[in-house]
């Protein structure tokens, strides 16, 4: 019985050590690969990936682009629940006139102009982005 118990403890110890050193070796190997790939800066985004497009928008200058929505500047510094139905319809009109690839740029433009979307429009934007 004692021999069986010692054998089980020995096997568990070997399994633990194998796992421990395997993980350390793997993380060290992955760290080397990451440093090699991160040294190469990307020259230009191909535009075929959603991540690249998002990064390009985030890297945009602080230049404000208008999407025929200058009238929305009147809602600067409003809270998301401060809008009445007519004001919400103004946002909705602009939102549904946008092309699919203009959505993120428009949201960035509103952010730079300190215009917060009405809560109902936020829900619609999320729904539209998820359905893309």
Q: Where are the domains of the chain?
A: 1-41, 50-131
Given a contact cutoff of 8 angstroms between Cβ atoms, the answer to whether 103 and 129 are in contact is: yes
CB-based burial label for 94 (10 Å; 0-12, 13-18, 19+): middle
What pLDDT is recorded for position 32?
Answer: 54
Report the C-alpha dihedral over residues 50, 56, 59, 60, rounded to 10 degrees: -130
The predicted model scores a pTM of: 0.54
What pLDDT is recorded for position 41?
Answer: 44
What pLDDT is recorded for position 36?
Answer: 46
What pLDDT is recorded for position 10?
Answer: 79
Low-confidence ranges of the chain (pLDDT < 70): 29-61, 132
What pLDDT is recorded for position 15?
Answer: 75
Residue 46: which residues within 8 A CB-CB, separation 6 or more? 52
DSSP 58: H
Report the C-alpha dihedral over residues 101, 102, 106, 107, rounded to 10 degrees: -10
């Amino acid at each position: 019985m004692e021999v069986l118990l010692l054998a089980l403890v020995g096997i568990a110890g070997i399994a633990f050590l194998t796992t421990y050193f395997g993980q350390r070796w793997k993380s060290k190997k992955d760290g080397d690969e990451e440093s090699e790939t991160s040294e190469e800066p990307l020259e230009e985004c191909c535009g075929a990936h959603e991540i690249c497009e998002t990064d390009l928008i985030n890297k945009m200058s602080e230049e404000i682009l208008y999407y025929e929505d200058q009238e929305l500047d009147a809602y600067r510094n409003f809270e998301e629940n401060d809008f009445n139905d007519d004001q919400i319809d103004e946002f909705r009109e602009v939102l549904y006139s946008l092309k699919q690839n203009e959505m993120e740029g428009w949201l960035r433009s509103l952010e730079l102009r300190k215009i917060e979307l009405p809560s109902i429009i936020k829900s619609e934007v999320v729904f539209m982005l998820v359905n893309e």
